[in-house]
Structure 1
């Protein structure tokens, strides 16, 4: 009996799929619209303001600062750390990794009220010049955009953090990337 139902349903599914792909015919008494003689160039889309969510389903990407409690609750393996700090001195990402290691660097980012793990290849060394972290349904890209600011053993560098969600939404935030002891 199941094969009888399947044989009756398959043609219906095929017909619906074909109908969904075809364009509706215009009625014969309605003339097709004339093409404009010269179509003006479409206005360029305005770039998103720094920190604005673009694309995706329209919902905002909310990144919150990591608190000391958030960081203490996570056990991040590794000898040395890198962090992304906003101009308002908020840590949005903290990651740790081992020097000269092929083990991934492991980090955390706080999306809304949830602390979520991310990882990047190459350990600590792989994070120094910026990297791409991956996690469940997200990618966090750190791009170093300038020379070190200040002196010392591990001065911060201007950078951007771009959070990319699986639905195509992204949000880019300027700040500083700091790696070291």
Structure 2
């Protein structure tokens, strides 16, 4: 009798065990960390998206300073106009000094003419003709101060002479290749190639 009862209870125990196993599996599945993997960790660093060519902004091109037809650069855009000095212009300037220096493009009519005293510290006096008007300029050191890369100043202007080569030809005062750079007070400039000649 006892054996029959024990055999009848065995299927029931197996069913309960299976039920417990299924329930435990369901609980484990519900508590699985798979859901957590779908959400990023709070402490995980953000990964910036890789920029594309469309996101990149090209730098703005640098705008060069305006250049006038005469070679004037910068300033308000107006040209620096230097005219040649006539004999009447030089006579009217009434420059004093022992020896002269001049800058010209063609070796004849000067764009700048100045005179100074040898061995003197008094400034050399000169003139330029700007847009038809004769205007005074001066350089320190008398005549001697003009013989090598002088700088002249005047109202609203600075003029630099720079020798660029050896003397051309012979004689007591041969000309030298040089540049004249006219700097205006508003920042405009113009450089002219020519010859610088000093002497009697």
TM-score range, shorter chain: 0.7 to 0.9
1:99-130 CA distances to partner (integer Å, 9 max, x unpaired)? 01100001000001110000000000001012
Partner of 2:80: 61
* Worse overlay, 80-89 or 69-78: 80-89
Contact 1:50-1:172 at 8 Å conserved across structures: no
CA distance in 2, matches of 1:129, 1:175: 15
Partner of 2:98: 79
Q: 1:148 to 1:47 in 2, by over 3 A?
A: farther
RMSD (Å), alpha carbons: 2.7
SS of residue paired to 1:81: strand
1:30-52 CA distances to partner (integer Å, 9 max, x unpaired)? xxxx9964746957959969950
Partner of 1:70: 89
Contact 2:128-2:134 at 8 Å conserved across structures: yes
Tell me how far 1:150 sits from its aligned partner.
Answer: 0.4
Tell me how far 1:75 sits from its aligned partner.
Answer: 1.3
Partner of 2:132: 113
Q: TM-score when scaled to structure 1?
A: 0.74
**Paired residue total:** 148
Larger strand share, 1 or 2: 1
Q: 1:83 to 1:35 in 2, by over 3 A?
A: farther
Partner of 1:122: 141
Structure 1: unaligned runs, 5 residues or longer = 1-33
Larger helix share, 1 or 2: 2
Q: TM-score when scaled to structure 2?
A: 0.67
Is 1:160 aligned to residue 179 of structure 2?
yes
Structure number with greater Rg is 2
Structure 2: unaligned runs, 5 residues or longer = 1-52
Of 138, 146, 152, the residue aligned with 2:157 is 138
Which one has more relative contact order, counting CA pairs under 8 Å at least 6 apart? 1
Of 62, 71, 96, the residue aligned with 1:52 is 71
